[in-house]
Structure 1
Amino acid sequence: MHLKLYTCSFILLLCASTLKAQQGLNSIYSAYGIGDLEEKDYSRNFGLGSTGIGRRSSSYLNELNPASYSALPMQNFMLDISVKAQRVSYEGAGISQTGGDINFKRLAIGFKAARFWGISAGVTPFSTVDYKLLNNKFITGTGNPVTSNIEGAGGINRAYISNAFQLNKHFSVGVSTGFLFGPVNVSQTLGSDSIVTHHNQYAFKPNFTVGAQYNGKVSKDWQLGVGATYRFQTKLKFQENLNITDENSNSYFKQDQDPSYFTLPAQYGAGLSLTNGKITWVADYRHQQWNGLNNKGTNYYYQDGERYSTGIEYAITKHYYNRTFEGAILQAGFSYNKLPLVVKSATLTDISGTIGVSLPSKNGQLRYYVGIEAGQRGSKAEGLVKENYVNAVFHFSLRDIWFIKRLAD
């Protein structure tokens, strides 16, 4: 028991330290809207190209479809923590740079409240804002340009509570109640006077996702899973504050602004899975309905986004006393994402390949997972920047037997 507590404490300390890790990455694409939307899943689905809408598993927490939690085993408590390390190289006109950082990506718990009812709760980033821009601006009445330094930071987080209900042997439904919250802050410095204009925004809004899954045998050894999800459209309201300061943060002017709004579109998804217990194949499709939303920019707009992904997993199983246990797990996956953001008429894509390995501890209660992803995002057309990246995800999953009344000696 002490070992479990020490392990949990170490993981939580690691998680807290990554929250403070320096942000060495900058992405021009996070300057639009509410930043870079997180489309990847940092559970055991990561090595499968973040695919799992149709997958029903009792071995891990699958937030890609809230209906999956009805498969959680009775009297088990699960704790998941994920951390991502990233390295990016930037390519563009006169640009050749690299950057990297380490960030917390996921904290989740899950358990079975009743035989037909599974619950999970967690927190994860929903979008990220991190960019720096340097350009020249002309002040009215002068003919000389001054340097403008614009920096963006923050992003939206998602805290959620998901409930799943098993309606019969084959069919489950679920709903995930999410709470979107966080700051989007932009600061601008003009010239060498060190006068900084801060535009600080903060949003909080509930958001709902529903899901359904069907699981049944198609032969003696193979099972088919079919899943579908729908995330409802949500209108985020941002409270805004304007603050003008000097380099020592002494305020010259401060005022609350009228609130602004950003509409998060509806998203629907569908997925398939096919497994015989050792080999599992999965495939997903997600569609975001951005057309006609948030088109306020002069050089950018939003179109519908689409994401295709697939993956295959091989599990080395072990048998003890007529029960089957997972040993080492090997994964490979691929994803193609047509991003909803269009900048200067350039359609952006994100294409990546993934691999993953999951290993159990000696007692089987703790699993260690490493996922590697390599891909590229963006375009060098229209003076934009292409990002070539490598991500490494470290995932820790603790599974313990709880809710058992111990008998006295």
Structure 2
Amino acid sequence: MLMRIKLYTCLLLLLLGAASVKAQHGLNSIYSAYGIGDLETRDYSRNYGLGSTGIGRRNSGYLNELNPASYSALPTQNFMFDVSIKAQQVNYSGAGISQNAGDVNFKRLALGFKAAKFWGISAGISPFSTVDYKLLNNQFITGTGNPVTATTTGTGGINRTYISNGFQLNKHLSVGVSTAFLFGPLNTAQTIGSDSLVTQHNKYTFKPNFTAGAQYVAKVAKGWQLGLGATYRFETKLKLQEKLNIVNQDETSYYTEQLPAGYFTLPAEYGGGLSLTNGTITWVADYRHQLWNTLRNKGSNYYYQDGERYSTGVEYALTRKYYNQTFEGAIMQAGFSYNKSPLVINGAQITDISGTLGLSLPSKNGQLRYYVGLEAGQRGGSNNGLVKENYVNAVFNFSLRDIWFFKRLAE
């Protein structure tokens, strides 16, 4: 059994490495060119097929980072390990635009365990924002009447690495806190015409961020349990260190300058959720609100206003009983989400609407679970000079559960 567990762990790490190496950055999303990039609103755990909903859900079967208070429900003597990969296909349409793009990327690595009867811990890393775009426009050189093509590309993004703790105060109430570090590069590069020189603006940030959560559960009818959850992510001011580089196509540097640091304020966000379950059927619903209106993050043709996200989902789990204990078998999910992005471009707020499906299957020994989540949706629009994105996402999640601190009986 030990060799089998090691084999599964090695396979998961290889999958993670393959996803990182073979990722194809071809999405070219114009919406990632603003601020600190395209902010991530989805959860790449078992919540994905439920519209990334789970603030009010208390479940011992998976790692739920949507609410750190949920980790107090982790089973004792268990070690859990998750890895998620996302594949995406997008069609872009707008004024004179019609093209397709695809991408494969790592989205989540997490582990968790029960440190004490009342205390659960999880740690992991996932993207917080993504920068991936390429823009072409015509510019005129002083003294000539001929336009030349300027190419601007953006790459990078901010990552979130965290350690979360959940504490059970009594049989109904749990609280938790997630201590995260936001870090990563935000890079742009510009080339004009056939010039071999590339002007690079490379930014980097590193800043802690905190999220608090609470959950309350109680029986409301025979066999049914109601869960209520709330979260609050604290405001964080990001300091962006910036360096200017002028290099040639071979990356030989001609000029380097450390520019004055810039700042970007990530606003507070609060959320609430509820769940209703009898162990077989589960219904969940969430609401999240980002407080951008009090901030001054804006550019020449864009600004931010309060963002909102609504989501809901239904799950059906086949269960089986062994020695008076209930175990989950196949799990089927369906969900829906509507996201009013805080980003406003040319006076139009960017919206994102999608539907999701999810399927989770256990291995024969029950230690490994395979999860596939599918999502189809639309973001943005073709009016006001914007681009409409019709997308299909597929998420593959592998979850390993092992027994820790188990003492064998003497023979």
Per the shorter chain, which TM-score range? over 0.9
**Shift of the alpha carbon at 1:95?**
0.9
Q: How does 1:61-72 map to 2 (within 5 A)?
A: 61-72=63-74
Q: Which moved more, 1:293-302 or 1:212-221?
A: 293-302
- Answering whether residue 6 of structure 2 is matched by residue 16 of structure 1, we say no
- Aligned residue among 73, 76, 80 for 1:74: 76
Does the Cα contact within 8 Å between 1:346 and 1:379 map onto a contact in 2?
Answer: no
Task: Give the match for residue 391 of structure 2.
Answer: 389
What is the aligned length?
A: 409
Other structure's SS at 2:384 match: helix
TM-score by length of 1: 0.99
Task: Give the match for residue 192 of structure 1.
Answer: 194
Letter in 2 for 1:400: D
Q: CA separation in 2, counterparts of 1:290 and 1:350?
A: 18
**Shift of the alpha carbon at 1:145?**
2.0
**Shift of the alpha carbon at 1:100?**
0.5
Other structure's SS at 2:15 match: helix
Task: Give the match for residue 32 of structure 1.
Answer: 34
Q: CA separation in 2, counterparts of 1:280 and 1:296?
A: 41
Task: Give the match for residue 154 of structure 2.
Answer: 152
Task: Give the match for residue 380 of structure 2.
Answer: 378
Task: Give the match for residue 289 of structure 2.
Answer: 287
Task: Give the match for residue 333 of structure 1.
Answer: 335
Task: Give the match for residue 131 of structure 2.
Answer: 129
Does the Cα contact within 8 Å between 2:55 and 2:273 map onto a contact in 1?
Answer: yes
Deviations 1:195-236 (A, max 9, x none): 110000110000000000000100111100000000000001
**Shift of the alpha carbon at 1:348?**
1.0
Q: CA separation in 2, counterparts of 1:287 and 1:164?
A: 23
Q: How does 1:242-281 map to 2 (within 5 A)?
A: 242-281=244-283
- Aligned residue among 361, 364, 371 for 2:363: 361
Does the Cα contact within 8 Å between 1:272 and 1:284 map onto a contact in 2?
Answer: yes
**Shift of the alpha carbon at 1:19?**
1.0
Deviations 1:181-208 (A, max 9, x none): 0000000001111211000011000000
Q: Which moved more, 1:224-233 or 1:187-196?
A: 187-196
Q: CA separation in 2, counterparts of 1:218 and 1:262?
A: 45
- Aligned residue among 312, 315, 327 for 2:314: 312
Task: Give the match for residue 3 of structure 2.
Answer: 2
Does the Cα contact within 8 Å between 2:24 and 2:102 map onto a contact in 1?
Answer: no
Other structure's SS at 2:221 match: coil
Letter in 2 for 1:26: N
Other structure's SS at 1:381 match: coil
Other structure's SS at 1:2 match: helix
RMSD: 0.9
**Shift of the alpha carbon at 1:139?**
2.9
Deviations 1:93-118 (A, max 9, x none): 11111011110000000000000100
**Shift of the alpha carbon at 1:141?**
3.5
- Aligned residue among 157, 161, 165 for 1:163: 165
**Shift of the alpha carbon at 1:144?**
2.5
Other structure's SS at 1:329 match: strand
Q: CA separation in 1, counterparts of 2:83 and 2:252?
A: 39
Gaps of 5+ in 1: none
**Shift of the alpha carbon at 1:296?**
3.3
- Answering whether residue 121 of structure 2 is matched by residue 119 of structure 1, we say yes
Q: CA separation in 2, counterparts of 1:192 and 1:325?
A: 63
Other structure's SS at 1:6 match: helix
Q: CA separation in 2, counterparts of 1:296 and 1:311?
A: 34
**Residues 292 and 195 from structure 1, CA distance in 2 versus in 1: closer, same or farther, beyond 3 angstroms?**
farther
Gaps of 5+ in 2: none
Does the Cα contact within 8 Å between 2:265 and 2:297 map onto a contact in 1?
Answer: no
**Shift of the alpha carbon at 1:277?**
0.5
Q: CA separation in 2, counterparts of 1:357 and 1:296?
A: 41
**Residues 407 and 322 from structure 1, CA distance in 2 versus in 1: closer, same or farther, beyond 3 angstroms?**
closer
**Shift of the alpha carbon at 1:407?**
4.2
**Shift of the alpha carbon at 1:261?**
0.7
Q: CA separation in 1, counterparts of 2:323 and 2:407?
A: 24
Does the Cα contact within 8 Å between 1:292 and 1:302 map onto a contact in 2?
Answer: no
Identity percentage of aligned residues? 74
Does the Cα contact within 8 Å between 2:298 and 2:304 map onto a contact in 1?
Answer: no
